[in-house]
Amino acid sequence: MLDFGWAELLLIMAVAVLVIGPQEIPDMMRVLGRGVRRLQYVKFALSRQFDDFMKEHDLEDLRNGIDPDRDDKKEDDSGTGTE
């Protein structure tokens, strides 16, 4: 989460009750929940589009990182001898 302790959460709730009012808190939490749900969906959709793009263009090796045991890397290292 955001690494809040119980004291911080209680302080935030007390300020919310004072500022928003006890009658508006359920509506505010509902709106906040919808916003979080939309953000999670957007994150999921973007991640899925990225995965589809990587698979479509055969770029999975870029996503997974470069393989350290590739032959062309070994050849490049052997060509840089000391003088």
Residue ranges covered by each domain of the chain: 14-66
pTM of the model: 0.53
61 close to 67: Cβ distance less than 8 angstroms: yes
Which pLDDT value is given to residue 37? 97
And the tokens for 1?
A: 């989460």
Q: Residue with structure tokens 């209680």?
A: 10
pLDDT value of residue 54: 82
CB 17 within 8 A of CB 25: yes
- Model pLDDT for residues 23-69, shown as the tens digit of each residue: 998 999 999 999 999 999 999 999 999 888 888 877 766 766 665 56
